[in-house]
Amino acid sequence: MAGEKKEYYVEGIPVPETPGPGESLPPWGKTRVLGSRRPRVDAYERVSGTAVYPSDIVLPGMLYGAVLRSPHANALVKSVDTRKAAGMPGVRAIITGSTPGADLPWTYRGGGGVASKLFDPHCRYEGDAVAAVAADSRDEAWDAVRAIEVQYDVLPYVADMEAALRKGAPRVHEEGNEAKTESYERGSVQEGFARADAVLTETYRTECELHTPLELHGCVARWDGDALNIWESTQGVYSVQSQVAETLGLPLSKVRVIGHYMGGGFGSKLWPGKYTIIAALLAKKTARPVKLFLSREETYLSVGNRPPALMTLKAGVKRDGTLTALEFTATGTGGAYLSGGISLLDWLVRDLYTCPNVRTRATDVYINAGPARPFRAPGHPQCSWALEQMMDSLAEAIGMDPVELRLKNIPTVSQAKEKPYSTTGLRACIEQGARAFGWKEARERSRSQGGGHLRRGAGMAAALWFAGDGGPPSTVVVKLFSDGSVNLNMGASDIGTGTKTVMAMVVSEELGIRPELIQIENADTGTTQYATPSGGSKTVPTEAPAVRRAAVRVKRQLLEMASEDLGVPAGDLRLEGDEIFSPGDGARRVKLTGISRLKKRGVVVGVGYRGPNPADKVINPFSAQFCEVEVNTRTGEVRILRFVGANESGRVMDALTFGSQVIGGITMGIGLGMTEMRVLDEARTGKLCNGNWHDYKLPTALDVPADIQPVPIDMPDPEANPAGAKGLGEPVTIPTAAAIAGAVHDATGVRPTGTPMTPVLLAELLARKTEKG
């Protein structure tokens, strides 16, 4: 075909020969694989226990690390005496803040702000690291930790964010406890409130939730000469690599991070922990591999939380349902360091509903407690708790159905980002969710039930997630072997959300090969390509386009090779299954395994990059949830009977995994709404009272209804990216707690303004209502 202009077509549209990183691909037409229900490609490994998670790693000669942590909420470390511990059986190394090489700076990502140290001589929260031990066994390491003698200068503490702002409160940092304030304004709320027919003000509170991924936080570190290898339970191997290299002053090429499997992160494993650096230092000192995984109790103290939020919302609405003004004032806390204590806390007020006049102000306060971390949709479920309950109250005030009020205020542009949405399925989520749930009928039933003590109610809440668009950079390599099987090489972690499965489906869609023939290599900085951490509901929209491009480039080469064998221009050939043929001349066909040049070359490689997002559009996913509860008005107990979760995240990639995300998000939202809260001993010690799985109440199977119905809204977004997909993992948890609160109100007439909705809290609200008559 020499000299001939080569063109390659997808769905009849030409694709440029030498595309740049952002090469455009036309949207898929009818798909064969995407959109179907596919079980996880690694399901067998995961459920059979043969998948090797970082916490499963055992290396020859491996030592175990353990960390000594401050038992005080606020204390200065006066002296650390390691002599006794050093002489104990099995002890190989002890490091403290004064060990040469261990005096390192440490930054709590997610907020910037004040500097701290790996072993900070000022421990500003219970559980901050003071020293660490490596020993032959875990028990010996822990015995030695307990034998280290530390003299602390115990300081006054503050464990509550409102108390921290009072005059005379103990100062967490020299400069005071007000860490930072963020504000936003558009229009004039004064004018908006003046035009309203109803103006309501209410104060809401959500409690702090502690990160509880099933796999604990930790790693195994091993040095090969001057190169460091780390097996870490992480959402992003490249993110761990860069912070470790920076902290230890190593070239990136000398830090290899591997995390093939990981048991959940939810935002708490986007970056390395102090444990990562400590393991590396202990491994260096002992010239042995060191395994350092935290206990559950240690993770509850130190790896992060969804910060508590205290929120006052004033809202104005006209009789016809037009929102005229929203004013939101909030306080949050990232604990003892700037770590995202008010991150995105006002976002839904800014952007979920059409409203010309909005003012928000959020203050991040220091207290003596462990750091905040991103936690599945930072800020959004908290804001939803306030905004969505307020929407219900406004609807009640003007005598309008809550669904109708929301439908009246659906924006087509992002008012906060001042650009139109590429697509918005908010209306579809609300309408189709309401239909699937039987909203009108359920609300009717609440109106007409008798006077018994078991009362049913229905509630709903809508949401958007401020990101979920994904974006560059990402590099992916697809390698096709001469037998037609494929290796997919990408840096991204599958954090339990089905990333590997979805990407195998993308390759399968493009190359027509069965997903079982695709071997995935991922999450290893030594052998796989660059990827940003899996978080922000961006993994599918980031990686799927890069995977698709890589597969298309493989396909293009196959067609060109086959064109030589068949004497038909590549542009006239089709790849289907394991064959390439000319639709115009059925006799001209060749099996992949028969392509001459492929046989000679052995493999064909396609590299795909993630191109930029459109500059003039906002790409967000949307959500609406509906819930029915039964409240026992004598005991305050709430039984959640059923949930419907409608989500629009662009294209539905794997319908099975889509539904699993909805169920998981609702489960987590039930935790926020019903059971979870960090309890600090504010009065006497500042210490964490419920830092274990017995006292910290995660929702169990008894708290989560069997009847959760996902309603996928399949709206491939042609402008978002060549996969048409937006993020899903976070929008599925944003409206849950608020929807339950709406249902509780519908059932009982009381409005629980604080989480969690425990029987004690509800019984108290119900008793107060009865007193008032």
**Position 731 contacts ligand MOS (CB under 6 A):** no
- Indicate the residue among 377 and 390 with the shorter CB distance to ligand MOS: 377
Question: Using the rule CB under 6 A, which residue among 92, 376, 443, 549 binds ligand MOS?
Answer: 376
Question: Using the rule CB under 6 A, which residue among 230, 270, 492, 747 binds ligand MOS?
Answer: 270
Q: Which residues from 199-238 bind ligand MOS, rule CB under 6 A?
A: 235
d(CA 35, CA 538): 18
- Indicate the residue among 267 and 686 with the shorter CB distance to ligand MOS: 267
> How near is the Cβ of 539 to ligand MOS at its closest, in Å?
9
Angstrom distances, CA of residue 622 to CA of 383, 471, 659: 15, 18, 15
422: phi then psi, degrees, rounded to nearest 5: -60, -55
Task: Name every residue whose Cβ is closer than 8 Å to that of residue 254 and which is 6 or more positions away in sequence.
Answer: 226, 227, 228, 245
Neighbours of 150 (CB within 10 A): 19
Question: Using the rule CB under 6 A, which residue among 267, 541, 608, 665 binds ligand MOS?
Answer: 267
Strands 579-582, 574-576: pairing kind: antiparallel
Angstrom distances, CA of residue 326 to CA of 251, 349, 351, 404, 710: 49, 7, 11, 19, 31
How far apart are the two ends of the chain, measured CA to CA in Å? 88
**Nearest alpha-carbon partner for 640 in 651, 650, 632:** 632
> How near is the Cβ of 452 to ligand MOS at its closest, in Å?
42
> How near is the Cβ of 134 to ligand MOS at its closest, in Å?
30
Question: Using the rule CB under 6 A, which residue among 127, 264, 374, 496 binds ligand MOS?
Answer: 374
Question: Using the rule CB under 6 A, which residue among 111, 264, 378, 512 binds ligand MOS?
Answer: 378
Burial grade of 427 (CB within 10 A; 0-12, 13-18, 19 or more): middle
Residues β-bridged to residue 423: none
Nearest-Å Rg of the Cα atoms of the chain is 28
From 14-22, 211-219, 369-377, 386-394, span contacting ligand MOS (CB under 6 A): 369-377
Residue given tokens 């060191």 in the structure block: 290
Q: Are 558 and 580 in contact (CB under 8 A)?
A: yes
From 71-79, 92-100, 136-144, 370-378, span contacting ligand MOS (CB under 6 A): 370-378
- Indicate the residue among 664 and 722 with the shorter CB distance to ligand MOS: 664
> How near is the Cβ of 362 to ligand MOS at its closest, in Å?
18
> How near is the Cβ of 538 to ligand MOS at its closest, in Å?
8
- Indicate the residue among 269 and 455 with the shorter CB distance to ligand MOS: 269
> How near is the Cβ of 380 to ligand MOS at its closest, in Å?
10
At 82 the three-state DSSP class reads coil
DSSP codes joined into one string, 696-708 = S----TTTS-S-E
At 760 the three-state DSSP class reads helix
> How near is the Cβ of 266 to ligand MOS at its closest, in Å?
6
- Indicate the residue among 533 and 645 with the shorter CB distance to ligand MOS: 533
> How near is the Cβ of 664 to ligand MOS at its closest, in Å?
13
From 189-197, 259-267, 339-347, 583-591, span contacting ligand MOS (CB under 6 A): 259-267
Query: What x-and-dash track marks residues 500-539 binding ligand MOS by CB under 6 A?
Result: -----------------------------------xx---
From 260-268, 596-604, 712-720, 762-770, span contacting ligand MOS (CB under 6 A): 260-268
> How near is the Cβ of 469 to ligand MOS at its closest, in Å?
13
> How near is the Cβ of 731 to ligand MOS at its closest, in Å?
12
Q: How far is CA 64 from the centre of its chain?
A: 30
Count of residues interacting with ligand MOS (CB under 6 A) = 11
Question: Using the rule CB under 6 A, which residue among 28, 238, 375, 622 binds ligand MOS?
Answer: 375
Angstrom distances, CA of residue 356 to CA of 186, 188, 325: 7, 8, 7
> How near is the Cβ of 443 to ligand MOS at its closest, in Å?
33
- Indicate the residue among 541 and 722 with the shorter CB distance to ligand MOS: 541
Task: Name every residue whose Cβ is closer than 8 Å to that of residue 460 and which is 6 or more positions away in sequence.
Answer: 402, 403, 430, 433, 434, 437, 439, 624, 625, 626, 627, 735, 739, 742
- Indicate the residue among 235 and 563 with the shorter CB distance to ligand MOS: 235
Q: Are 234 and 269 in contact (CB under 8 A)?
A: yes
Strands 413-414, 419-420: pairing kind: antiparallel
At 204 the three-state DSSP class reads strand
- Indicate the residue among 35 and 378 with the shorter CB distance to ligand MOS: 378
- Indicate the residue among 273 and 536 with the shorter CB distance to ligand MOS: 536
From 25-33, 98-106, 348-356, 371-379, span contacting ligand MOS (CB under 6 A): 371-379
> How near is the Cβ of 180 to ligand MOS at its closest, in Å?
20
- Indicate the residue among 328 and 375 with the shorter CB distance to ligand MOS: 375
- Indicate the residue among 358 and 377 with the shorter CB distance to ligand MOS: 377
From 283-291, 374-382, 404-412, 580-588, span contacting ligand MOS (CB under 6 A): 374-382
From 82-90, 292-300, 375-383, 619-627, span contacting ligand MOS (CB under 6 A): 375-383
> How near is the Cβ of 378 to ligand MOS at its closest, in Å?
6
Q: DSSP alpha helices (H): ranges in 153-267? A: 161-165, 189-195, 237-248
d(CA 378, CA 371): 14
- Indicate the residue among 70 and 493 with the shorter CB distance to ligand MOS: 493
From 137-145, 263-271, 497-505, 565-573, span contacting ligand MOS (CB under 6 A): 263-271
DSSP codes joined into one string, 403-434 = HHHHHHT--SEETTTTEEBS---HHHHHHHHH
Amino acid making up residue 694: H
Classify each residue of 112-126 as buried b or exposed e, where b means 16 or more C-beta atoms within 10 Å of its C-beta. ebbebbbbbbbbbbb
Residues β-bridged to residue 360: 184, 328
- Indicate the residue among 415 and 537 with the shorter CB distance to ligand MOS: 537
Helix axes 736-748, 380-398, angle to 10 degrees: 30
Strands 255-258, 227-232: pairing kind: parallel
184: phi then psi, degrees, rounded to nearest 5: -150, 145
**Position 266 contacts ligand MOS (CB under 6 A):** yes
From 21-29, 373-381, 550-558, 622-630, span contacting ligand MOS (CB under 6 A): 373-381
**Nearest alpha-carbon partner for 53 in 279, 291, 238, 280:** 291
Binding region for ligand MOS (CB under 6 A): 235, 265-267, 270, 374-376, 378, 535-536
